[in-house]
A = this chain, B = another copy of it.
Amino acid sequence: MDELKRRILSEAVVGEGDMIRVDMFLNHCMDMDLMERMGGALAKRFRGTRITKVLTAESSGIALACFTAKALGVPVLYAKKFQTGYIDPDVYSAEAHSFSLDKSYTLRVSKRYLNREDSVLLVDDILSNGQTMLSLLELVSKAGGEAAGVGIAIEKAMREGGNVLRRMGIRVEALATVERIEGDRILLA
């Protein structure tokens, strides 16, 4: 998606390691016009695929999940990472590990909102090692549903997440793909 690529090239900042800071428009301060167009673009890529729900994980994927789901005409379910507010005690849960934060956490969704009839599009802002996506897939699988695919704003191709998912037969659509980082430069596919 050209608009997203332009924003990455003009605004994103390379941090430690291969971290890419996009908090100025994607995952802290969020541009809603861009977000709506990204959601529309992901929905368009999955046109013709049966999708009953969009699933994401707290918190940085929620905005993109909302606009993707709005364009598809389906609800958003977000898996909880944290104990905040009410969640049904009867949940599907999956462990996930964050390499960037070097800690593990448990993703939970209420069994009420995910079942064997569901064909679920998984959405997140950034795909790196794929740990969050693998855990969301586990939740869908435990519910007896199927994964319609994975929709991502930015895939980091130098990390293994995208390839791991594709080798599992999952369709992965990224609106922008970072091939590699050279010093301060971000090289897109």
- For the complex, what is the distance from the CA of A154 to the CA of B31, rounded to whole Å? 25
Verify A83–B101 contact, CB threshold 8 A. Answer: yes
Binds B, one of A1-9, A54-62, A140-148, A162-170: A54-62
B residues in contact with A33, CB < 8 Å:
70, 73
| CB-defined A-B contacts under 8 Å, sample of 13 | A19-B86, A24-B113, A28-B113, A29-B110, A30-B76, A30-B78, A58-B82, A58-B84, A59-B78, A59-B82, A62-B63, A84-B98, A85-B126
- Indicate if A97 sits at the interface (CB-CB under 8 A): no
Number of residues on chain A facing chain B (CB within 8 A): 47
* Distance A30 CA – B87 CA, assembled complex (angstroms): 13
Return the CB mask of A62-77 against B: 1 if under 8 Å, else 0: 1100110110011111
Give complex CA distance A19, B24 in Å: 36
Question: Which chain B residue shows the least CB distance to A29?
Answer: B113
Contact A30 to B100, CB < 8 A, known contacts A82-B82, A84-B58: no
Whole-angstrom distance between the alpha carbons of A66 and B62 in the complex? 9
Q: Please tell me if A15 contacts chain B, counting CB pairs below 8 Å.
A: yes
Residues of A137-186 whose CB lies within 8 A of B:
none
Are B84 and A81 closer than 8 Å at their CB atoms?
Answer: yes
Pick the contact of A29: B27, B32, B77 (CB < 8 A): B77
